[in-house]
């Protein structure tokens, strides 16, 4: 558990797309560094943290490795919890 515990920040609506684009770009960069399926891999933990941030904004990302070795990252809108 982090010393800071669970924290949240407020992202103003006009900036949500920019934050999601930043998260998406970082996921692409992190995907390229993963060499194994080890869940404790630091890059995988960082990816999980970024996906959790996106989920708080109502989105998730699907990350798929293609046959040519390149990664595909797709943004997915989550269903409203109402």
Sketch the domain layout of the chain as residue ranges.
13-77
What six digits make up the tokens of 79?
């269903």
Q: Is the pLDDT of residue 65 over 60?
A: yes
Average pLDDT over residues 50-55: 93
b (16+ CB within 10 A) / e for 38-76:
eeeeebbeebeebbebbeebebebebeeeeeeeeebeee
Average pLDDT over residues 5-23: 90
Is there a contact between 65 and 41 (Cβ–Cβ < 8 Å)?
A: no
Categorize the per-residue pLDDT at 37 as very low, low, confident or very high, splitting at 50, 70 and 90: low
Whether pTM exceeds 0.85: no
pLDDT of residue 38: 66
């Amino acid at each position: 558990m982090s010393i800071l515990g669970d924290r949240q920040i407020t992202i103003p609506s006009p900036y949500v797309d920019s934050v999601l684009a930043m998260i998406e770009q970082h996921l692409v960069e992190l995907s390229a560094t993963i060499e194994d399926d080890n869940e404790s891999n630091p890059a995988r933990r960082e990816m999980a943290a970024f996906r959790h941030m996106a989920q708080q904004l109502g989105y998730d990302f699907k990350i798929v490795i293609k046959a040519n070795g390149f990664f595909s990252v797709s943004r997915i809108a989550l269903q409203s919890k109402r």
